Amino acid sequence: MKPDSVYITTPIYYVNDKPHIGHAYTTVLADVLARTERLFGRDTWFLTGTDEHGQKVQEAAAKLGVTPQEHVDRTVQRFLEAWKRLEIRNDDFIRTTELRHKLIVQEILQDLYDRGEIYRDEYDGWYCVPDERFFTDKDLAEGRCPLCGREVQRVREANYFFRMSRYQDWLVEYIQTHPEFIQPDFRRNETLGFLRKPLQDLCISRPKSRLAWGIELPFDADYVTYVWFDALVNYISAIGYRRDDAQFARRWPAIHLIGKDILTTHTVYWPCMLKAMGLEMPRTVFAHGWWLSGSTKMSKSLGNVVNPMDMMERYGVDPFRYFLMAEMAMGQDATFTEDAFIRRYNADLANDLGNLLNRVVSMVGKYCGGRLPAPAPGAFESGPAADLLAQAQAAAAGMKTSLDTFSLHAGVAQVIEVVRATNKFIEAQQPWSQARAADPAPLHTTLYAAAESLRICAGLLMPLMPGKMTELRAALGMENPMTVNPDELSKAEVLPPGTEVAPPGALFPRIEAPVPGPSDATAPAADAPKPAADKKAPPPGTIGNPEGVITYDEFAKVQLRTAKIMGAEAIEGAVKLLKLNVLMGEERRQIVAGIALYYKPEELIGKTVVVVSNLAPIKLRGVESQGMLLAASKGERLRLVTVDGDLSSGAVVK
């Protein structure tokens, strides 16, 4: 059963860099989860912060001619400003240079040292300065750091060690008996795989002769604390450990959101430290995937990192937040491209949600004098309006479940499906025809039900897009559009009939092409093709270029993937065309296909078909198509290319 109190943390980010897409994703994810938990009435605490000690900070400060404290005081502002602009509403922001944190770290170290959990020994091994990690000979990758690939230094020195090895058997058993501890489950298997090898004791100090910028060991003034033993403690120092027992008991244990690259520190080092302290384990450590550029992880060295500030400047904060939450299935890697952003923005927000709001408000204005009509008595007991509201209420329950199962992307997809269902409901009920009838009740019920569905969807999407959803709810005439009462998400007939609606303008104006960045007009594209040499193509029919034959490289440009048809409907005025809503992995797309003479819309639902996924979008009869189905035809027969057997959507066709 989900506890009433929820404590959500991000990693604390190293200040010797500026925020990038990885930082933004984790922090927006934590913010959306925290907002959604509060939406459903749970006592929630959200912590983020910065990691400000270590050798890289010390070296950077020296190059700038300032003290390390002055350096971190400046660089932390990058994160504070980024989170402000991203609408992050954290309850606390902790810095490891704060006295409240340093004192707790020193008290923990002294206690562990007094109880024999920390000891001094000689160390001889390899050290990577950028990662601030020691490695044995077998750890190295071709003589280099296994993490960053850089050169390592041979170091021999006395240090202090935490007896982490004594907790290996306990940790394996704990992980095996607490499946909720490490999520997703394949990350749990990664940690168990790491623990098949003997666990070494953890070096938790650095001599001041080599590194002075850190928290001094309370039992040896010649040493400072190693960054991980310092940084991980932030999760408990920020909520009153050893200072406020009531606050600590109320908040701990936590849900830690981390990137998969710091899995070992959070699922091996941290639980062993907590066990030695006699504290309860975190409720869950959830490791999300990486944002990729193509098939490659974004990294500063490759120059392919997306700057969240640039995306916000181009397209706004709320659409950016929405894309991050909707595009990445929690736990999996995802690809970030501007084209993918624009496709999802146009499909989910401009075409579906924004268009629905404009239709509803416009028709209420046209047919009802700009005020919400009253539905017919009993309209939400049975019939199409009742079915629509039941689907919206089911989406609210689904969003709540997505918190417990760490599948927020699925909860968001369910809400967008309700938006699409509401558009279909309007098409089916045809309020423009109902307006000509003598009895106004059917028209009033249609428009009121659509507005109610919008109200629930906007409430559920409020944690993702607080600004835009406040505008949407204000357009429906809600008195407190920024405040969502949890009870209203499971009720019908919340909007008072007679409420005046207001045209919102273009809530999500369509994006027809990528918006140029500040330097795009003058800087050549990094991947712009070089002018080809002037070569004459061989004549058609020769061996070098047979007529009608393409090369393997040309064919390899075509990307084929499986997709599941989730919805299908006719296009007004088009005899041959159907508009399909397909699910390709976690991505929703709209495809226009000329198959109406061969398939009825209801026959297509649930079919897994093959789609050309990298075809440039085009408009057919004014409707955007974001791909093409494969089909075979002979004479007057046409059949779609489908998949033999059970295969999930989004699979690559080879």
Half-sphere exposure of 53 (CA within 13 A, CB side): 26
H-helix or E-strand spanning residue 418: helix 408-429
pLDDT at residue 83, as a whole number: 95
pLDDT at residue 632, as a whole number: 86
Q: Are 96 and 12 in contact (CB under 8 A)?
A: yes
Q: Are 419 and 460 in contact (CB under 8 A)?
A: no
- Per DSSP, 276 falls in state H
pLDDT at residue 575, as a whole number: 66
pLDDT at residue 297, as a whole number: 57
Phi, psi at 542, each rounded to 5°: -80, 165
Question: How is residue 382 written in tokens?
Answer: 């049975």
pLDDT at residue 534, as a whole number: 41
The rounded distance, in Å, linking the Cα atoms of 238 and 254 is: 12
Residues 552-580 have pLDDT tens digits of: 556 667 888 888 888 888 887 676 788 99
How many whole angstroms from its chain centre is CA 282?
22
pLDDT at residue 637, as a whole number: 75
Strands (E), 518-621: 560-570, 578-584, 587-593, 608-612, 618-620
Q: Are 623 and 579 in contact (CB under 8 A)?
A: yes
pLDDT at residue 305, as a whole number: 60
pLDDT at residue 302, as a whole number: 53
Domains in the chain, start-ordered, CATH in brackets? 338-490 (1.10.730.10), 553-640 (2.40.50.140)
Residues (pLDDT < 70) of the chain are 1-3, 293-308, 515-556, 573, 575, 586, 634-636, 645-648
pLDDT at residue 301, as a whole number: 53
The rounded distance, in Å, linking the Cα atoms of 602 and 584 is: 19
pLDDT at residue 539, as a whole number: 43
Entry pTM: 0.77
Strands ordered across the beta sheet of 220-225: 205-207, 220-225, 216-217
Taking alpha carbons only, the member of 119, 268, 120 closest to residue 191 is 268
pLDDT at residue 226, as a whole number: 86
In 48-98, alpha helices (H): 55-64, 68-85
Residues 174-204 have pLDDT tens digits of: 999 999 999 999 999 999 999 999 999 999 9
Taking alpha carbons only, the member of 369, 365, 381, 351 closest to residue 449 is 381
Phi, psi at 566, each rounded to 5°: -100, -25
pLDDT at residue 9, as a whole number: 98
